Structure 1
C-alpha cells in the first residue's frame, strides 16, 4: 500500500472512502511494511543504474510513502508526486519537509481519469497499487510512455491478494472468519479485477518488460506496535462492502474485533500476522 490506489476511488471497494481513513491506512502500511518498501525500491534503483536518474514520477502518491522512499533511493533526482487529492498532496509536502527532501519533491494535483497533466520528461515512473484504480489504465500507460525518456523505466506494483492478519481460530465466533471476509470481498469485486497482471498491458503500450519479481510479506510477532491499528484500519475499510454478504454472526464477530477495547480487540491481540505478496513489474521504454 505504498500508494494504495490512485485515490481517484472510481472503482472497487474503496470508492467513497473517507480520505482521513485512507490516509491512516497508508501511513500504517508504511510503518508496518517498511522493510518490504525498502526492498522493492532498492531493487528498482538497482535496475536503473544504466540510465540518467534526474527526474522520478510517482503516480497516485497518496500520503507520500513511495515518494519519500524514491527520494531516498534516487538521491540526486527530483521527484514529482501526482495525486487527485489536495489533502493527500499536503501530506506529501509535509513528509518531504520533515525528511529534508522539500527541495527535490514537488506535487501535481491531477485526476488521471480526466486528463494527463503537463509534466516534463522523466527517467523513472513508479505506480504502486494505483494503476488498477484508473478508468482506462492503458490510456494512462500510453501517457506514461510519452512522458518517459527513451531508455527510462516504469515500475508497477500490485497486491496479489488481500493482506491476511488473523489466525484461523481467533477464539471468538466460528473459525475461518478472515477467509470468509476475503470470499465476500471477492464476490463484491466480481466485475472488477483488483489484482491484474500488468505485464501484457505494459507490452501492448510499447514497453519492454525487463524484470518481474514477487515480494513476500510476512510480519509475525514480535511485530511493530502499530500492527493492530493497521489490521483494524484495513478491516474497517472493507467492512461496509461485507454488509449483506456475510452471516450476521460473522459481522458481529468482526465488530468485536474492530472495537476500541476488549480482550478480542485487534488493538490488544498478540497473535496477529501480516502476510501476503506483492508483484512488481519493471519495463523499459525502447
Structure 2
C-alpha cells in the first residue's frame, strides 16, 4: 500500500499514483508499472505540493493539543518527500517512511541522505493491513491518500489508533478538491474535458475500491470514523496549491507527464472524441497542446483530518 503523496482527491489526477498493491504484469498501464518512470513523477508532484503540506504539518505542530513528537510514521510514503518534510517540521522526531514498493523507499533514503536527515530517518517495507504489527508506536501517524487503498478503512483507522501513544495524532489526508490544470473551454473538442476526465477517474476509483481485499463501503465522515475507533476529532483544514498560468518549466513538465499517465490509465473510460483531443494536447508539435498553451495552471486543495488519542 502506497499513497505516493502528492495527489489530493481521487480525481482526474489520482490515476497517476497507482498504489503499491498494483505492481504486476499483464499490460494494464495501471498495474504494469515502471518505477524508474513513475518514481520521478511522484517525487516531482510531491515537491510541487511542498507548500500546502508544510502548512499542514506546521498546523499540527502548533495545535494546543499537539503531543511531543518523538516518532512519526508516514504511511504510504512513496518517494519520501513528505516524510522528509515531517522530519524538518518535527526536528526531535525519528521519521519512518512506510511503503510496499522498494524502489520508492530507495528514493526516500536518497532524499533523506541529501538533506542531512539520515540520522533520524529510516524506511520500512510493509504491506498493510498484514504488517500493522511491524510498525511500532508513534506520536504522529501521517496517512497521505493511503487509507483509501485499504479495503476496510474503519479497521485500518482502528489499527492506526492502536499504534498511537497517549496524546498522539492521526493526520488523515483524504478528500479535498479535484486538481484543475486547464480552463473549462480549451478551444478544442467539447468544453469540460477535465471534468469528464474526473468523472472517468471516479468510476475507475470505485472499481479499484471494490476489488480491494476485504473491501467495505464506508460513509466518508472522517470525524465520525475517528470517534468510532476511539479517537477524538481535532479538526479539519484544507490547504491550497495555487500555481497560476503561466507555469514554470518544471510545473508544466509535471502537468504533461501526469496527463500522459491519465490518458494511458483511463483508456476506454474516455470517449473517442476526448481521447483524440488528449492526443492533440500531448503532441509537443501541436501549438494548441500542453507544451505551448499559455493557460495551463495547477490548482488543488488538500484536506487534512486530525484525530487524537487521549
Written as runs of structure 1 = structure 2, the 5 A alignment for 1:8-19 is 8-9=20-21, 14-19=30-35
Change (3 A) 1:195 1:271: farther
TM-score by length of 2: 0.83
Partner of 1:212: 236
Using the TM superposition, give the Cα deviation of residue 48 of structure 1 relative to its aligned residue in structure 2, in angstroms: 6.9
Instruction: Tell whether the 8 Å contact from 1:3 to 1:64 is kept in structure 2 after alignment.
Output: no
Following superposition, the deviation at residue 185 of structure 1 comes to: 2.0
Shift of 1:116: 1.4
Match of 2:309 in 1: 285
Q: 1:234 to 1:200 in 2, by over 3 A?
A: farther
Task: Report SS of the residue matched to 1:266.
Answer: coil
Count residues with an aligned counterpart: 285
Matching residue of 2:291: 267
Choose from 235, 238, 252 the match for 1:228: 252
Q: 5 Å matches for 1:113-262? A: 113-191=129-207, 192=209, 196-262=220-286
Name the TM-score, length of structure 1 as normaliser.
0.89
Residue 3 of structure 1 and its aligned partner are, at CA, apart by 5.3
Q: Which residue of 2 aligns with 1:2?
A: 5
Query: What are the ranges of 5 or more consecutive residues in structure 1 without an aligned counterpart?
Result: none
Using the alignment, how far apart are the partners of 2:74 and 2:19 within structure 1? Answer: 13
Question: Measured at CA, do residues 197 and 262 of structure 1 come closer, stay the same or move farther in structure 2, by a change above 3 Å?
Answer: farther
Mark the runs of 5 or more structure 2 residues left unpaired by the alignment.
8-16, 24-28, 210-216
Measured at CA, do residues 69 and 277 of structure 1 come closer, stay the same or move farther in structure 2, by a change above 3 Å? same
Change (3 A) 1:17 1:195: farther
- Aligned pair in 2 of structure 1 residues 56, 114: CA closer, same or farther (>3 Å)? same
